[in-house]
Amino acid sequence: MELILKKEKLKEFLEQLSKNYEIIAPVKEGELINFKSVKDFTKVVMTYQKSIKSPKEFLFPQCEELYKYKFSGKDVEIKPAEVEKKPKAIVGIHPCDAVAIKILDKLFGWDYKDELYFERRNNTLLISITCNTPDWSCFCTSVEGTPYDADGTDIHFTDTGETYYIEGKSEKGKQILQDNNNLFTEAKKEDKDKVEKIKKEIMEQVPVKFDIKKVTENMDCIFDSKLWDRISVKCIHCGACAYLCPTCHCFDINDEGNYEEGKRIRCWDACMFGHFTKMAGGHNPREDEKTRYRQRIFHKFNYYIKNFDTISCVGCGRCIAECPAGMDLVKTLQLIEKGAEHE
Amino acid sequence: MEDIINIARELIKRDDIEAIIGYEKGRAPFQTVPFFARTPEDCDKLIMNSLCVNNLVSYINQFSGKVAIFVKPCDAKALVGLLQEHQIEREKLHIIGINCQGALNPKKLRNAIKGRMVKDWSINGDKIKVYYESGEEEFNIKDFLLDKCPACDTRTPPIYDELLGDEIKTADLPELLARVKELEKLPAAEKQQYWNEHFERCLRCYACVKICPLCYCERCFVENASPQWIDKSNNLKSNKAFHLIRAYHLAGRCIDCGECDRACPMDIPLRELNLKMRKSVEEHFNYVPGKDIDVPPPLSTFKKEDPQDFIR
Ligand code: SF4
Ligand code: SF4
Ligand code: SF4
């Protein structure tokens, strides 16, 4: 199902959609592009260069309540948290960020099925858009992705200049397009050709930077390499990379409250923080930048494959573009590609 | 550039120097990154230009031996602070001072090229030249300075063992605290709203803390779990507490390198907060941090004739 939407009709489409969905879309905040819950659809920026945060927080919020507790005498009353009921539509998600959600699904659906995550997930519509403004830090094409192939979304947009070329992907997505068919016109062969041309052009803007097969093959024998000492010195062990990353998912569970009542919450945590692995007795198995940086790379390019048969990086480049110390994941992976002997 | 490479090559030959801390070119357009040269060949990669923005002094203690370090005035000011607070041993350092006429904001430059793919860039005098896949473009350096630079009165590092070039004096600077004074004039409610809007965005990624040369507490209060000084959740209340406590802890110590500002992915104007503290400290104690290693910092010293009783 391929349709055409005139750009001026986007607002109307979103208005229709907002009858059943809370609309989450990229908007401008100062110089930044950020996904926000929007009501004024004229503010939506569909064609943008990388949002500062990925939209993962709408499925996996930075901090969320698991339950409330209240003591009365020796008893404790527990009230499980409830997830917002109104379905959400994440509009304008780039293919890399959409693929990232599939990667998160595996983790949250692993040995324990995370109810809070899946309640949101199953209640969220994904409307993706071809990323036609990749920047220097993007490398989706090196990790088996493309800037246009948003596998697993419901509807996909391509900005062709004056119009959006729209593909219904899932049954749910096709139904929504059907229900609003007065807004669209049927796509013609020229439109399709135009989209193919756009795809080809963007692919050229994101050249392949390394052979991911070679990288993942080499991972197993690189754990003790001196390479890690060298490349980790720059790292200042903040959490910018992990918090901006669409696939990072580590969290920490805490209580906030007093002796009578409170709530148990989980918040994002980051393996680059020094206290991430600090044990109750004070021992810290990952005490320095080297072991922590190595962990981040191994988790994404080795352990995740062993557990879930996929790497957990989509090449969005945020951790590279935003690292204040200039750590460069692509350079690291290129070194690994060469193997330990080139350290 | 040859100057710094030659200096570095000479230094690394010395038995007592473990590494040279400087910069190399990064992969991004307009990016330089910290670099640690350990061999003469490494030294050839060293660069120094107005895009060398990172404050390098935080890296000194990563090395056990003696290091040589290239310092711009900002780095040198931080060094003064750290030496005063006994965080670095002077004997472990060979300091090469670099004059600075203002550093460039790489993000601003990247915005100016509007997503075009850059092949290379070079700096020549007061111009920066950008080479695209096809064609080239020239920008004026003065349009892309970091916010901290135009009003900076320190163009030559306040501490060094050797200086590249001659000392520079400054004149006719715009007022450093103009923005703070403007904010001070806002009614309380508007001020509150201004900061709330910024603090609300904070991710608590602590990039600001970790990049700051003067934020060296081995265990930052934000990391403490027992007692937990602030909530782990990034709600406005805790975010505000975090930033205010941090600003207080940097009062009289922050040397305005602006690294926190640059590091913040969420564009929170942290410098404005720290400059406000600078203003207060200057007013009350007539002291500006990072200027002179021989003037003791007011918050870590006392006088017998102090008007307040508790200190005596
Ligand atoms: S590791 Fe970096 S490039 Fe990969 S998905 Fe995360 S932020 Fe993006
Ligand atoms: S760097 Fe910015 S987002 Fe991160 S903790 Fe500091 S102020 Fe918050
Ligand atoms: S608070 Fe910010 S400006 Fe001040 S010394 Fe630290 S990083 Fe530099």
Place of tokens 């209060």: B221
Which tokens sit at B13? 């030959």
Structure tokens at B29: 């357009």
pLDDT at B2 over 80: no
Distance of CA A176 to the CA centre of its chain: 24
Q: Is A37 on the interface with B (CB under 8 A)?
A: no
Nearest neighbour of B232 by CB, restricted to A237, A267, A324: A267
Closest residue to B115, CB basis, from A49, A270, A321: A49
Q: What whole-number distance in Å separates Cα of residue A304 and Cα of residue A313?
A: 10
Higher pLDDT, B134 or A50: A50
User: Is residue A204 classed exposed, middle or buried when 0-12, 13-18 and 19+ CB atoms within 10 A define those classes?
Assistant: exposed
Ligand 2 close to Cβ of residue B210 (< 6 A): no
CB B25 within 8 A of CB A325: no
Q: Where are the domains of chain B?
A: 2-104+149-164, 106-144, 178-302
Rounded CA gap, B200 and B247, in Å? Answer: 17
Closest CA to B61 of B44, B49, B43, B78: B78
Burial tier of B44 (Cβ tally within 10 Å: 0-12, 13-18, 19+): middle
Cα separation, A83 vs A80, whole angstroms: 10
| Predicted pLDDT of residue B75 | 96
Indicate the residue of B118, B223, B265 with minimum beta-carbon distance to A240: B265
Taking the complete model, does pTM exceed 0.90, yes or no? yes
- Rounded to whole angstroms, how far apart are CA atoms A62 and B282? 39
Lowest mean pLDDT among A21-25, A260-264, B55-59, B218-222: B218-222
The identity of residue A263, as a single letter, is: K
**Residue from B198, B243, B266, B267 to probe ligand 2 pocket by mutation (most atoms less than 8 Å from CB):** B266
* Least confident span in A70-74, A220-224, A274-278: A274-278
- Site of tokens 């036609």: A132
Q: Which residues form the pocket of ligand 3, taking CB atoms under 6 Å from any ligand atom?
A: B 211-215, 250, 254-260, 270-271, 274
Give the whole-angstrom CA distance, residue B194 versus residue B196.
Answer: 6
Confidence of residue A89 (pLDDT cuts 50, 70, 90): very high
Q: Give pLDDT, residue B228.
A: 81
Length of chain A: 343
The two three-digit tokens of residue A73, written as one number: 């005498």
pLDDT at B312: 62
For residue A145 and ligand 1, the question of a CB distance below 6 A is answered with no
pLDDT band at A339 (very low <50, low <70, confident <90, very high): confident
Phi, psi of B287 (to 5 degrees): -135, 135
Please give, rounded to a whole number of angstroms, the shortest distance from the CA of A211 to a CA of chain B: 18
What confidence category does residue A318 fall into, taking pLDDT thresholds of 50, 70 and 90?
Answer: very high
Q: State in Å: Cα A329 to ligand 1 middle.
A: 8
Size of chain B in residues: 312
Q: Residue A301 and residue A89: Cα distance in Å, rounded?
A: 30
Which residues are CB-contacts of A10 (< 8 A; sequence separation ≥ 6)? A41, A44, A46, A164
Handedness of CA B247, B249, B250, B251 (dihedral sign): positive
Query: Is the shortest distance between the CB of A318 and ligand 1 below 6 Å?
Result: yes
Alpha carbons A75 and A70: distance in angstroms, whole number:
8
C-alpha–C-alpha distance, residues B32 and A208, integer Å: 23
Q: Which of A267, A322, A328 sits opposite B233 (nearest CB)?
A: A267
CB A319 within 8 A of CB A329: yes
C-alpha of residue B206 to centroid of ligand 2, in Å? 5
Helix H or strand E segment including A46: none
Q: Is any ligand 2 atom within 6 A of the Cβ of residue B273?
A: no
Q: Which are the contacts of B288, defined by CB distance < 8 A and separation ≥ 6?
A: B278, B281, B282
Place of tokens 């003065």: B142
Q: What is the pLDDT of residues A201-230, one digit of tens each?
A: 999 999 999 999 999 999 998 999 999 988
Question: Would you place residue A285 in the very low, low, confident or very high pLDDT band (cuts 50, 70, 90)?
Answer: confident
Other beta carbons within 10 angstroms of residue B285's beta carbon come to: 14
B175 secondary structure, DSSP code:
P
Contacts of residue B244, Cβ cutoff 8 Å, sequence gap at least 6: none
> Does position A340 have pLDDT exceeding 80, yes or no?
no
Whether residue B122 has pLDDT greater than 70: yes
Q: Tokens 């564009």 — which residue?
A: B267
If you ran DSSP here, which 8-state letter would residue B145 be given?
B
Q: Which ligand has its closest atom nearest to the C-alpha of A145?
A: 1
The reported pLDDT for the residue numbered B125 is 81
Helix and strand numbers, DSSP H then E, in chain A: 12, 12
The tokens describing B227, both together, are: 């007692």
Cα(B9)–Cα(B37) distance, rounded to whole angstroms? 9
- pLDDT mean over A245-266: 93
Among the atoms of ligand 2, which is closest to the Cα of residue B207? 1
pLDDT grade, residue B1 (50/70/90)? low
Mutate to test the interface with A, among B36, B108, B203 (most CBs of A within 10 A): B203
Pairing of strands B136-140, A75-80: unpaired
Burial A84-112 (b: 16+ CB within 10 A, else e): eeeebbbbbbbbbbbbbbebbbebbeeee
The arithmetic mean of pLDDT across residues B216-244, rounded, is 88
Task: Give strand pairing partners of A168.
Answer: A155
Distance between B151 CA and the closest CA of chain A, angstroms: 23
Is residue A342 pLDDT above 90, yes or no?
no
